[in-house]
Structure 1
């Protein structure tokens, strides 16, 4: 309601203050955090040397651009579902289902630098197959509500961008309350080298540090090819190497290393 009031006020004042409001803008202000293991996107990843899949369905959707005097901001809503599947002959067994939602404001500080702030929620669960077919007997009650603050900076020298920031988990449940924990994240995309026509070769990295696990890290390294349009939507085929603390909440205190080949659709 407060947001609608703000938008109405700015819209009504457009003539006096040279403001501009654009609903459902086509172009995003911030590129996808490419190597992030739970970024909002559609994806299909096959684990190498293991008959398992990681899939996701979602995206980030710009809702409104606001330009008012020195302010240039974009408000977006994002949501995704991630799942991990094991092959069981003619069917797949769904191990876990993880839900993510974010509401973010991307504010341009300069032509190269953007600040992102927002709110988000995730809850992460074992699926029915985990109990019925895989022998699990107990799940973890895992949920986080958090605020986030990031800086994203374009660097022409590396033909890409870097980012860094933090999530503050003001409400954090891992069977019991553990509020006030931080998750720090840094990463970037670089070496966007033309291959043929609109196809580029690229590399990316993402590293997370989790305070609830003595700042243990979740690391993701990715390289592949992509096609990206002017609105920053992209289609990619990539190899990813992941190691460190599990990203899946049901396995939050476990370490794992695996390699994947997959397709990504960043909307």
Structure 2
């Protein structure tokens, strides 16, 4: 255990030494993402709004569900958290295979690639969060003292996302089928998370599945601190926080130990 902690501290120190490279990689990926897009960063706002409108029609006009608040605000908050997670993984899964020349020729911490993917998606989410602020003002939702826990929720979300990004990017380098399986899995995963509807409206085995899903307490925590002015569920969110931190440490160590095989598999 002490040896693992020592290795992890060394990884953190090395990542700190290469922080400028991480910044430059993130900047490069942001420029490439929007270079040929006429709307630029507006896409980060436009797509969540379109999805919010579509799901609002489906779940309020057709399914007619009641979530105890304006549904557009409920679903946009969920989509904002979910899109950050899904977009991060969607980019991270190919982050090593799309940078083969750098992986094989130059030494630096290879985890910079999946971490950069996460940071790019984080920037998109920060841009889109301006819409959430506007929607809260429109519906008269004023944040209370619980919003002070927002940095904690974001930190847990980041840890879980980075852990998944490390594992996915590494797995896809060794087995190229992973990226195709991921696309199917991420779609199903969203419907097993409380993005579009709360767990309270779902019964049976589906509710159990949603409660065991690590992303559900994270999405619920965003709504708790932003919209309901209450603390996240201590048991569920505490368990996910522990899982996220330990999972990130474990995934990072596994990634580092497999790094010497990367050049052979690109």
Band of TM-score, shorter chain = under 0.3
State TM-score, norm by structure 1: 0.27
State TM-score, norm by structure 2: 0.27
Q: Highest relative contact order (Cα 8 Å, sep 6+), 1 or 2?
A: 2
Give the structure with the higher percent strand: 1
Give the structure with the higher percent helix: 2
